Amino acid sequence: MNQTTYTIMKPSIVCCHGIWADGSCFNKVIPALQADGYEVIAAQYGLDSLAGDVSMTKRSFSRVPGPILLVGHSYGGSVITAAGVDDRVAGLVYIAALAPDADETSQGQQDKFPPTDIFGQVELDNDRVWMKPGGVECFAGDLTPEEKKLVWATHFAPDATLFTKKVEGTAWRSKPSWYIVASNDRTVHPELQRAAAKRMAASVHEVDSSHVPMLSKPGFVLDVIRKAAMTLEHSLK
């Protein structure tokens, strides 16, 4: 009797960072995913405009074989929502992330929920929005003191208009999605996260974490990304 052998294709994983960060915010999860045999990169973009960040993310797709699992943290969720309509993208993982609908901007989605503590800990300088020193507690309050100092020393500010623009594309309406809700988040309201996950019919995974679970709870985040990747692997065989 002949036995059919199926080849399971591993997706590549492209990570998209939020504001006050760059691709290094995924440094605690990338090595483990690479050890699992996944091709993983972090899209690096300048936080100058949503259109520019989405364009840069799409350009990074050529650096890895498809299909692609996009992972977006915070504002990176807005990036993957638009970039994810690309045919090379097979699925989306949101981490404490924004996920605006076709009629929303990143700021417009946030305005539907109570403001979080971080809004009192920012300042405008040279048309960029910087965190004040006290903002680290709102952003990454469950990291070690040494890690908080590093977050502060390396944070990079977005253009002041970044959250007020919209780019066409709402990938979560047509692609399978997973959502990590950070229940102790003081930057993106947890109720916004739960509502976003519900309307995209995502597989929801909640963790007691600050806004940066990939840094404070990397094992939890790894488990979700692995589940998403394995689901895609078996759907693509």
Residue 210 has pLDDT above 50, yes or no: yes
Pick from 139, 161, 164, 114: nearest CA to 214: 139
Residue 135 has pLDDT above 90, yes or no: yes
- Detail the DSSP E strand segments found in the chain: 12-16, 40-43, 68-73, 89-95, 122-125, 128-131, 177-182, 203-207
Residue 51 has pLDDT above 50, yes or no: yes
User: Rg of the Cα trace of the chain?
Assistant: 17
Sheet holding 203-207, edge to edge: 40-43, 12-16, 68-73, 89-95, 177-182, 203-207
For the chain, what is the mean pLDDT? 95
pLDDT band of 66, cuts 50, 70, 90 = confident
Domains and CATH numbers, the chain: 12-235 (3.40.50.1820)
Residue 185 has pLDDT above 60, yes or no: yes
Pick from 113, 124, 61: nearest CA to 89: 61
Nearest-10 Cα torsion for 164, 92, 96, 207: 170
pLDDT the model gives residue 237: 67
Contact assessment for residue 100 and residue 172, using Cβ atoms and an 8 Å cutoff: no
Distance CA 91, CA 174 (A): 9
* Dihedral over Cα of 108, 111, 115, 116: its sign: negative
% of the chain with per-residue pLDDT over 90: 94
Residue 216 has pLDDT above 50, yes or no: yes
Pick from 55, 43, 38, 37: nearest CA to 14: 43
Rounded to the nearest 10 degrees, the angle between the axes of helix 50-60 and helix 76-83 is: 60
pTM of the model: 0.95
Residue 87 has pLDDT above 60, yes or no: yes
pLDDT band of 8, cuts 50, 70, 90 = low
